[in-house]
A and B are shown apart, each in its own frame.
Chain A
Amino acid sequence: MGEVEVHALRGVNLELFAREFVVLLGASGSGKSTLLNILGGLDAPTTGVVECRGHPLTGAGDEELTRFRREHVGFVFQFYNLIPSLTARENVALVTEIAADPMTPESALALVGLEDRMDHFPAQLSGGEQQRVAIARAIAKRPDVLLCDEPTGALDSTTGILVLQALERVNAETGALTVVITHNVVIGSMADRVINLSDGRISGERRNAERSAAAGLHW
């Protein structure tokens, strides 16, 4: 059996702006995660150029990418990816300890409404709470870019909305460019801009005249 080359993304041209709330919509296998990984400096495209504020990310070495992530990017993952051996507060501290101008873990957790659950271990938190810890962890460094990979994918709608409210608030209060990838079309209505991905290409883009509040979403 020979190897088959698969292009996860092809011909993607995209410009994202500070303070924006962007939703990337697409089905499984459409290349959403790959795009997110490239935007976050986790992965590098085989060809093409990625720049952040005039700094090229393509061709950057591991050390530069690490510094980029450390200084500018916050990640939220579908399965939270909290360190199970650390409490909520310590999970956030993991990031604030290496950031240049972080907020305190306590205020980051307060921002997502978890001020009462700070000393709980992930196993003692519900899925929604875990995801909110993950958001607190992502925003505590005051990132320029907040990248969220299916943040509500593993949650029921009520809990998912709590998480989206947290993202909405963080976006408003910190001014971080927030990119949410999801296959849930409903979430698109809370975005400034919705970008559709299919088969590794941008198949559509629309700007919402008016953003709906996360609290009003329903699915």
Chain B
Amino acid sequence: MTALHRKLLRDLYQLRGQMAAIALVMVGGIGTMVMALSNYHALSDTRALYYDEYRFAEVFATAKRAPLPLVEAIRGIPGVREVEPRVTGFANLEVEGYDEPVTGQIVSLPGPGDPGLNRLYLRQGRVPLTDGEVVVSEAFAEAQGLRMGDSLVAILNGRRQALLISGVGLSPEFVYQIRPGDFFPDFKRFAVLWMARDPLAMAFDMDGAFNDLAITLTREAREADVIDALDALLAPYGGTGAHGRDLQTSHRFLDEELGQLRVMTYLFTTIFLGVAAFLLNIVTGRLVGAQREQIAVLKAFGYSRWEIGRHYAELVLLLVSAGVLPGLALGAWLGRGMAGIYMDFYRFPFLEWSLPIPVVVLAFGFALAAAALGTFGGLRRAFVLPPAEAMRPEAPAVFRRTLTERLGLGALLDPTARMILRNLERRPLRSLMSVLGIGLGIGIMVMSRFQSGAIDEMVDVQFGFAQRDDLAVTFTEPTSWRASEELAALPGVRAIEPFRHAAVRLRHGHREYRTSLQGLPAGADLKRVLDDRLRPAELPQDGLLLTDYLADLLDVRPGEELEVEFLQGHRRTVRVPVVGTVREYLGVGAYARREVVNRLLDEGAAISGAWLALVPGARQEVLRELRRLPRVAAVTDRAAMVQSFRDTMAEGILKFTLIATLMAGSIAVGVVYNASRITLAERGRELASLRVLGYTRGEVRALLLGELFMLTFLALLPGFVFGFGMAAVLVIGFESDLYRVPLAIAPSGLAFAGLAVLVATALSGLLVRRRLDELDLVAVLKAAE
């Protein structure tokens, strides 16, 4: 080991406090980055592997009832590789000991020996062998505590049937297990069941027919062409339009989630890179400043600029690596934990988790980039410092009267305050950087609080203000108006608002979007549409209202016409004017009066379901009655759904907020502690002189801590601005047709962030206080200037 290396190690030891502060930020930054990246890779790798091994289909189509021989024609479409005709349907389920309405989506399994598509992964048990056996989805089984050998009752097409659970399974088709049209998963109230094809076909009158297709394509196939050919073949049989994976519910949500993870990764990485670079900049700048004479001596004795540059570069590298390895470890650990949380929402049979080499390389690259950015200035100074000049002490700093004093307010300041202000003003750039660094910490905290607040706001608006029903009832198919009278007559039903929903394809120019056209009663009160200021809006006499985000997607303005292609009934295509836009946070849709939808569909007063308001205490009775109605396909309990969502989200959000708060706290402590150590190092002599002159410990402390708190107070406002900015980046990054997150930050979030950073400041103040109290008065005054 050369003498220079020894110097390196001893300097590092000397700098251990600041090194720990930098390492803290680096660990936070690299940890977050590795966590997000490894989690992202884990999810996308797992998904890819799962899709591949369990043969996830590429094109999906449904029809009302198509004859099985049609499958041969579909196989003949150029580009189609495999076709699996299936029977699917919805049924109400009864689970023993559970009174709530449960909806099941039942999917047929291919016959024995046929590998089929969207293959089942059996976690437990075996595939159904007899007519009364089913495999249930894992999420549902777990939520309901069901196991192989248990049984449940399904109302299949109006007939009650007891089903024996032969196994518990998963499928790539239902990684995100959510009821079509819902926004949140509710594992307790929505199940996926797999049954043998024949009994299911019998139950749904699909003998010799199918109503659902899963298709894979050849390598050279063009998806759009296959979809067009498929639509043409299925149209006579009530086809509702084929689509690719991009519109497959589970896949879409998963895609959206992965996209968000990417946004978060970029955002967090940038922030931490910035802060780490900033800290390194200060520390190396300070180090080079303090070692001017040592650098000069080395140069005088013939060490070249490169050797000295390398010496300090090595120092920085070691400083940085102290953060990289623990950061990698922490990130890997958190990433694994995070993937575990995701596995609660996204059901994979296995987790393909590893720490990809590129992520490790990236982490090091990231650290090096931060180091290079941050230390370039300091290293450059060490590099170019002329040896003779370095032998002279640094020119004394220039002090000026502060702005406050120049404004004539100096009389208001006591000497301590004056010294604090002058010191901050002496190094405006560094003070600014410290303020910005602390501000970033505050910003991250504001942002982490923003997430849970925004989700609350979304849920409150959508399910408290727009939608206010107690139960939503959906019929198996569009039904005559009389059905609503039947519902209204049920004891316990206070009000009823029947609706007509229809699957449509909206087209404007070359843009199109598949959604549901929702026909609501005029003056609806249980489901309201909201204007851009979230006030209830009237439905127009004629024409449509579009979600503002959808209007943007279709590039259509109020007053223009939209082509509406119905994917059911007579499959009419009509042109309808867009009258206005509405705002909603969850999903997008088109809204009109129910009569308008009926008229566009060229049908009578048909309805597809109804919203019910109940008299207090009547819920169980109404649910019992509804179960008896054969036409009722599904019953959704809004309050229960929201509650279940909150329960599921709560844990994840809590963990996320905790992690983000710790990270933000580490940034704040890192910056503040460094600022204080540097102040102490630069002004130790001055502070010691004050003590010699008779200042008390308390007064000297006030000087240093006052400066720290001053920096923190100055950082509050920019911190809040950063927080808003970062939240806005997230909002933009998260924006999709599935949901838009509102930019809503509660004052409590700001207060929390500010308070937490003040606590972090107090903490770092305590850390330097000891050093301050131990200032060696004699030694400081004796040292050569």
A: which residues have CB within 8 A of B? 37, 40, 42-43, 62-63, 66-71, 73-75, 77, 79, 81-83, 85-86, 90-91, 93-95, 97-99, 137, 141, 154
Contacts and interface: CB of A to CB of B under 8 A. Distances in A.
Given A93-B3, A94-B3, A63 B10 contact: no
Given A90-B3, A91-B3, A42 B300 contact: yes
9 contacts: A62-B305, A66-B302, A66-B303, A67-B302, A70-B303, A82-B297, A90-B7, A97-B3, A98-B301
Lowest 10 A-B CB distances belong to which pairs?
Answer: A70-B302, A85-B10, A43-B388, A42-B388, A94-B3, A93-B3, A69-B302, A37-B388, A90-B3, A81-B297
B352 to A, nearest CB: 49
Interface string B1-22: 0111011001100100000000
Nearest to A81: B297
B391 A42 contact: yes
Contact of B784 (A62, A79, A86, A141): A79
A43 B11 CA distance: 28
Interface string B283-318: 000000000011011111111110100000000000
B706 interface: no
Given A42-B388, A42-B391, A66 B297 contact: no
B4 A94 contact: yes
A81 B294 contact: yes
Contacts of A94: 3-4, 7, 298, 301
Name A's interface SS.
mixed
Contacts of A40: 300
Classify chain B's interface size.
Answer: 20 to 34
B3 A85 contact: no
Nearest to A34: B388
B297 A77 contact: yes
Nearest to A85: B10
B703 to A, nearest CB: 27
Contacts of A154: 784
Most chain A C-beta atoms within 10 Å of own C-beta, residue among B3, B4, B14? B3
A66 B468 CA distance: 82
Given A42-B387, A79-B784, A86 B302 contact: no
A57 B520 CA distance: 94
Contacts of A81: 293-294, 296-297, 391
A42 B387 CA distance: 6
A7 to B, nearest CB: 16
A172 B305 CA distance: 33
A27 B44 CA distance: 77
A152 to B, nearest CB: 15
A66 B305 contact: yes
A141 B301 CA distance: 10
B383 to A, nearest CB: 10
Contacts of A71: 302
Nearest to B389: A43
Contacts of A93: 2-3
Interface string B387-425: 110010000000000000000000000000000000000
A77 B301 contact: no
Nearest to A78: B784
A69 B301 contact: yes
Contact of B297 (A83, A98, A99): A83
Contacts of B11: 85
